[in-house]
Amino acid sequence: MAAKPHMNLVVIGHVDHGKSTSVGRLLFETGAIQKHVIEKYKKEAESIGKATFEFAWVMDNLKEERERGLTIDVAHRRFDTDKYYYTIIDAPGHRDFVKNMITGASQADAAILVVAVGERDEKGGLMPQTKEHVFLSWTLGIKQMIVAINKMDTVNYNQAKYEETKKLLDQLFKVVGFKPDQLEFLPMSGLKGDNIKEKGKLDWWTGNTLLQALDDITLPEKPTKLPLRLPVQDVYSITGIGTVPVGRVETGVMKVGDKVIFEPAGVTGEIKSIEMHHEMMDKAEPGDNIGYNVRGVGKDDIRRGDVCGPASKPPTVAKEFTAQIVVLNHPSAITVGYTPVFHAHTAQVACKFVELISKLDPRTGKVLEKNPTFLKTGDAGVVKIAPTRPLVIEPFKEIPQMGRFAIRDMGSTVAAGMVVNVTPAK
């Protein structure tokens, strides 16, 4: 039997809307976790007064998370549908953990957005984190989303309540820029299990169950037609072989015999060998985590954050770049001159804000103000950035995998963004 195609799935949504419970239920219904484990969690949950948390604990098996009832880390679990095998990246909904959400979402082929059917803000609209996660997904390039309207058991499986929530979500997606064919809506109850594998009490529902919807997601094409981009994670020196950089191929194909260049280091060489999981390969494709040996490149010539590409189409080193960002969490405000650390692929480089071009509505992307004096938490904007030392970064439209970044400062994620265009340094 041929191996099933693999997909990465991120689960997002407002805190307390039932993400972890839904994930736990999904793993249980696909046989990725046994019934006796759930029973054990159920007893433990009841004993500390957290009844109904048993499914959530499948993912939140860190003790601190159980006691706080929050998801902190990004957990990785495998489960299988009829068609695919999925790695689920459970991205936390809480603000402080948004960095994990960003690194989680940036690797995802698809997302499940979990929205509790009855929860509204004080104006009767969707919860702010729901809106933020939709905009973030768009900014991070997620192309396919299952919108799971959850907790249907709390409204007695009422169809009108489902339709009302769906309508609010429809408006939000339209405004942000998602097309209807990128979305699939469905009602469910993660806690009770309705419409995960079987319809259950949602007998009025004629669409897919969650598992059917997961089988409906189209496998994204590997970006093999784009030029090779392979960010360096580490560089080893191996006796008898020589210098061996390791990393994951983001785009393109690497073949033995290829002439390559590392930027910003500016060193060139020829691929002598490629290895994955201790096996020699003739070529490597996007998603492959490889070690490779390059003739003519020494251990001290390159380092983590450098990017390997074809000598004929070298990775772009930015003198400066324009980007669209969402400010997630800044203690005061971002102004011109601010120089936090940008995390892009494997690079971490301090970059300076040289111009605030515009302020955007973070729920829609429409321009609210030109040349604002500052951007604060909750704002989105277009900005001009100058790295303080050479950084490889590419326009999102050309090589999306190399055009996303997170901005970190003082131990937390300040913002996330995508590159609009680059002024090359070379």
Q: Please, what are the averages of pLDDT over each run of 10 residues along the chain (426 residues)?
A: 76 74 81 72 69 53 47 57 81 47 60 89 77 74 90 95 95 85 95 93 97 92 94 88 90 97 97 89 89 93 96 98 88 95 91 97 82 92 97 93 87 84 93
Residues 351-405: pLDDT tens digits? 999 999 999 887 667 899 999 999 998 888 999 999 999 999 999 989 988 998 8
Beta carbons of 116 and 166 less than 8 angstroms apart: no
CATH class assigned to 6-216: alpha beta
The Cα–Cα gap between 260 and 268 comes to 6
The Cα–Cα gap between 260 and 269 comes to 6
Backbone phi and psi for residue 27, each to the nearest 5 degrees, phi listed first: -65, -35
Size of the chain in residues: 426
Burial class from Cβ neighbours inside 10 Å (0-12, 13-18, 19+) for residue 366 reads exposed
The Cα–Cα gap between 140 and 137 comes to 5
Q: How many helices (H) and strands (E) does the chain have?
A: 8, 24
pLDDT of residue 93: 47
Question: How would CATH label the architecture of 317-424?
Answer: Beta Barrel (2.40)
As beta bridge partners, residue 47 has: none
Domain ranges of the chain: 6-216, 230-310, 317-424
> Is the bond leading into 340 cis (omega within 30 degrees of zero)?
no
As beta bridge partners, residue 246 has: 234, 291
Amino acid at the residue 5: P
Task: Supply the pTM of this predicted model.
Answer: 0.69
As beta bridge partners, residue 347 has: 344
The CATH number of the structural domain formed by 230-310 is 2.40.30.10
User: Which parts of 306-365 are beta strand (E)?
Assistant: 307-310, 317-327, 341-344, 347-360
pLDDT of residue 89: 66
Residues 95-152: pLDDT tens digits? 434 554 454 545 678 889 999 998 887 788 777 777 777 877 776 678 899 999 999 9
Percent residues over pLDDT 90 in the chain = 50
CA–centroid distance for 335 within its chain:
27
> Helix, strand or coil for residue 153?
helix
As beta bridge partners, residue 350 has: 341
pLDDT of residue 13: 80
Q: Which tokens go with 418? A: 């995508």
Beta carbons of 313 and 227 less than 8 angstroms apart: yes
Beta carbons of 340 and 408 less than 8 angstroms apart: yes
pLDDT of residue 238: 84
pLDDT of residue 156: 96
- What torsion, rounded to 10 degrees, do the Cα atoms 369, 375, 378, 383 define? 80
E strand or H helix at 170? helix 159-176
Fold match, 230-310 / 317-424: yes
Kindly report the CA angle at 197 between 194 and 199, in degrees rounded to 5? 45
